[in-house]
Amino acid sequence: MIIDTHAHYDDEAFDEDRDQLIRGFAENGIEMVVNVGAGIETSKRTLELVAQYENVYGAVGVHPDGVQDLTEADMEWLKSVSGREKIVAIGEIGLDYYWDTAERQIQKKWFVRQLGLAREVGLPVIIHSREAAADTLEIMKAEKSEEIGGVIHCFSYGVEMAREYLKMGFFLGIGGVLTFKNGRRLKEVVEYAPMESLVLETDSPYLTPVPYRGKRNNSNYLPLVVEELAKIKGLSAQEVIDITRENALRLYRISGRDR
């Protein structure tokens, strides 16, 4: 079955039918989803979803757009909840120079701090990096992120950058963009990267694959990404599902015993 390694079911876009959707995943071939925090509030909501649904795992962390008001007390709280059952990563964290919501110095400071938190608590990281390729890589190298491990979510850079992250042992998160007409760069990356380094993700409610692009995304659309990935890699859909599932379990260090 399919594992969605990155989604935001806490989002208000799901207020109407969240319960129905999540309970219906199994019959649509979706084994589990990892709900990813983007701030303190959404990390709290993530903890609730993880407790409520067996098929929801979680990550806690603060997205670069939300770091302006981050405090030491928040960091303590993140640390305190990171050890809870089914919390499998620190994220999403990183740099976003497209929106530039917070000053770049502030983004960098909290990115480094949250990488440190992940190292301290022994969890992998979920990296958000948009139009900030050089700084993201520089910080991750300086912080020896190859010892932390994790995924570059919604990978949006080219083959050169992919090579750097693959060398560090990171996974690349592949989602709806792969089906976009202007997704050529990502297709090249997928062609280049070994299958063992790719994981499936939706970033729901965002980045909906074609032909539903523009509508609200959800994990049930992942077979459209699988199909595209299978075509590029010359594999069957089932092979793509099986390999990316193993990769996701390895990324989040979920052992067979937990499942």
| Region binding Ni ion by CB under 5 A among candidate stretches 79-87, 167-175, 199-207, 241-249 | 199-207
Using the minimum distance from each CB to Ni ion, give the nearer residue, 127 or 239: 127
Least separation, in Å, of the C-beta of 203 and Ni ion? 5
| Length of the chain in terms of residues written | 259
* Per-position DSSP letters for 157-194, written without gaps between them: S-HHHHHHHHHTT-EEEE-GGGGSTT-HHHHHHHHHS-
> Does 96 interact with Ni ion (rule: CB under 5 A)?
no
Cis peptide before 205 (omega within 30 of 0): yes
Q: Least distance from C-beta 48 to Ni ion, angstroms?
A: 18
Distance in angstroms (rounded) separating the CA atoms of residues 118 and 155: 20
Is 203 near Ni ion (CB under 5 A)? yes
Number of residues that bind Ni ion (CB under 5 A): 1
- Give the whole-angstrom CA distance, residue 155 versus residue 253: 21
Stretch of 20-28, 54-62, 178-186, 198-206 contacting Ni ion, by CB under 5 A: 198-206
> Which residue lies nearer to Ni ion by CB, 76 or 89?
89
Residue with tokens 């983004």: 107
User: By C-beta, is 4 or 228 nearer to Ni ion?
Assistant: 4
Q: Which of 79, 82, 94, 174 is nearest to 126 (CA)?
A: 94
Query: What is the smallest separation between the CB atom of 145 and Ni ion, expressed in angstroms?
Result: 19
Unique residue bearing structure tokens 């992942």: 222
- Specify the residue, 27 or 178, whose C-beta has the smaller distance to Ni ion: 178
Least distance (Å) between residue 92 CB and Ni ion: 5
Q: In the complex, which residue's CB is closest to Ni ion?
A: 203
Torsion of CA 248, 251, 252, 257, to 10 degrees: 70
Among 49, 10, 34, which Cα is nearest to 245's?
Answer: 34
Q: Which is nearer to Ni ion, 65 or 203 (CB)?
A: 203
Cα gap 161→137, rounded to integer Å: 8
Question: Of the ranges 159-167, 197-205, 210-218, 231-239, which one interacts with Ni ion (CB under 5 A)?
Answer: 197-205
Cα–Cα distance between 222 and 244 in angstroms, integer?
12
Closest CB to Ni ion among 70 and 231? 70
State in angstroms the smallest separation of the CB of 177 from Ni ion: 13
To the nearest whole angstrom, how small is the minimum distance from the Cβ of residue 230 to Ni ion?
24
Residue 228 in contact with Ni ion, rule: CB under 5 A: no
Report the residue number, 98 or 192, with the smaller CB distance to Ni ion.
Answer: 98
Q: Checking phi first, is residue 94 left (phi over 0); if not, alpha (psi -120 to 50) or beta?
A: left
Q: Does 65 bind Ni ion (CB under 5 A)?
A: no
Contact positions toward Ni ion, by CB under 5 A? 203
